[in-house]
Amino acid sequence: MSSSGKDANSGHYANYVGPYRLEKTLGKGQTGLVKLGVHCVTNQKVAIKIVNREKLSESVLMKVEREIAILKLIEHPHVLKLHDVYENKKYLYLVLEHVSGGELFDYLVKKGRLTPKEARKFFRQIISALDFCHSHSICHRDLKPENLLLDEKNNIRIADFGMASLQVGDSLLETSCGSPHYACPEVIRGEKYDGRKADAWSCGVILFALLVGALPFDDDNLRNLLEKVKLGVFHMPHFIPPDCQNLLRGMIEVDPSKRLTLEEIQKHTWYLAGKNEPEPEQPVPRKVAIRTLASVEEIDPDVLESMHSLGCFRDKDKLTKDLLSEDDNQEKMIYFLLLDRKERYPSHEDQNLPPRNEIDPPRKRVDSPMLSRHGKRRPERKSMEVLSVTEGGSPVPVRRAIDMATHGQRSRSISGASSGLSTSPLSSPRVTPHPSPRGSPLPTPKGTPVHTPKDSPAGTPSPTPPPSPSIGGMPWRTRLNSIKNSFLGSPRFHRRKMQVPTQEDMSSLTPDSSPELAKKSWFGNFINLEKEEQIFIVIRDKPLSSIKADIVHAFLSIPSLSHSVISQTSFRAEYKSTAGPTVFQKPVKFQVDITYTESTSATKENGIYSVTFTLLSGK
């Protein structure tokens, strides 16, 4: 039991969280541990995610708060439930539904490719839950078998909404996030995208994996993998039913305007086939009345903070104005959905807990005093500490952001993040006529031809390039060395170990016609720069779109790095490492600007561009 309340890397945390006793570790990720919790009276089992607030950047904590708000908004039988939130000065505890069936990933590894009937059962449940999310303007953005859990009856639970985002109206999303094997081409290219279309692509890749036991796009080298995804050319095994092949081609469609929507998917013949097969469980119908709020005092403070956490309502004045509007709008719809959820599941202070010898026991995040729907103020609940509006862990508008995508260590993410619970490195499932590599988790089906996309980059760099030399000096250089050492390596549906890039990998990011400096890795030179604040790289004879694509590729291949688009020619990035000495754990923030250099004979197609890397903070 002594190990249940201690983490070697993060110090001590409580042995009890409210009425729950912490037991075995279910998994471990970059944001912390997930442990089994058992209710002291009822023996109810829950999964408790423990987040160390002292060792995570502000942006990661914002992401956790956003996940909490989203889980409050989504109530569906096939979405993992959030029960409560506890916190103390150092830790944040998310009390989640516990499901005993493990991950769909492990189920697929164990069974190999599934029958069309079983694959359809899982697929229907995923689409049903995802359609519910989209109807509430929530896009998951990191759908993959590692984030799909199974209960004791082998029913799906969509989990890990750490990269999810609210997409309001016809707006587009900008942050590149997700896992490269499951991400759509427009996300790979770093373009603005429709999160609903991105989720539909990911579901197509998941369905392919269920039916084939391998992935449609795979490569030992990350750059080659990204190129294959952008081309969208994959082999369709003959054993997939013809109507399902049609569905897969419609979902794994490079052009998002031609890609099937969830509505079209649910009307497809293969989706509707199997009349005797079980239907996905449907959510309990909820009729939430949207009424007029008479004044600011009538707005519930907890719901308002949850809306700020969602990221797209960060303008508090505008949000307040929209909520007080007499017209119905999306802001009011989300507000009253969250208010309805709060009133159906009020968060009261725990009662009759036995005394425990803990200096800073976790306290439940309880409801603030608020107005009821009928305009009457509720009596204030007595509490040792009202935690719903504290600086340490509850939603604070000025700290919110939607561009952070760092979570877990299960599957390398496009944003450089990873998610899930396991860190065991296994080999890649491959679509190949030869025997799978030793340790490959997904056996290759017999007779499956080699996947050979057209115009795919020839050759694959050595899987074991020479290690990078150690670099001494200031912490800034040391952190950048960490970035370089993790520059490439294939993300893990198959849990592959990361690889250090070869010089060929690094030089391929810039054209042969560019100056000698630009032929080297941009990040490699960033590490070796003499001046610590900025580095300038000159690139000639390459269009702006290609330069931007190379920068996005570089961002995507770095673990624990997130980026956002500032303008057409500017990016901002943050790198955070949670491993190693304390000096590595401070976030490094930098900006990348692309400038066109005018000349008498140059055009923007063959002129000269300057790429400037500027250190903002993190020395």
Residues annotated as binding site?
49
Residues 511, 519: Cα–Cα separation, whole Å: 7
- Locate 145 and state its tokens: 């078998």
DSSP 297: G
What are the phi and psi torsion angles at 128 (to 5°)?
Answer: -60, -50
Length of the chain: 619
Residues 81, 32: Cα–Cα separation, whole Å: 19
Q: Which of 497, 617, 451, 534 is nearest to 58 (CA)?
A: 617
Distances (CA, A) of 538 to 364, 519, 520, 534, 593: 54, 10, 11, 13, 12
Which amino acid, residue 183? Answer: A
∠ CA 204-208-212, nearest 5°, is: 175
Residues 394, 309: Cα–Cα separation, whole Å: 9
Residues 130, 143: Cα–Cα separation, whole Å: 10
Q: Is 408 left (phi over 0), alpha (psi -120 to 50) or beta?
A: left
CB 281 within 8 A of CB 155: yes
- Locate 276 and state its tokens: 């005797």
Catalytic residue among 142, 194, 367, 550: 142
- Binding-site residue ranges for ATP: 49
Residues 443, 457: Cα–Cα separation, whole Å: 25
Q: Among this protein's residues, is 142 annotated catalytic?
A: yes
Cβ count near 389 (within 10 Å): 13
Residues 310, 301: Cα–Cα separation, whole Å: 15
- Locate 335 and state its tokens: 């507000």
Handedness of CA 486, 491, 492, 496 (dihedral sign): negative
- Locate 422 and state its tokens: 């396991």
Q: Which of 521, 526, 525, 500 is nearest to 510 (CA)?
A: 521
Residues 362, 85: Cα–Cα separation, whole Å: 9
Which residues have a Cβ under 8 Å from the Cβ of 211 and sit 6 or more positions away? 113, 114, 116, 119, 237, 240, 244
Sequence-ordered alpha helix ranges (H) in 457-521: 475-485, 503-507, 516-519
Q: Which of 240, 142, 83 is nearest to 491 (CA)?
A: 142
Q: Which of 339, 405, 406 is nearest to 378 (CA)?
A: 339
User: If you search the block for the tokens 């104005």, which residue do you land on?
Assistant: 321
Exposure of 586 by Cβ count < 10 A (0-12 exposed, 13-18 middle, 19+ buried)?
middle
What are the phi and psi torsion angles at 271 (to 5°)?
Answer: -65, -40
- For the annotated catalytic residues, the residue numbers are 142
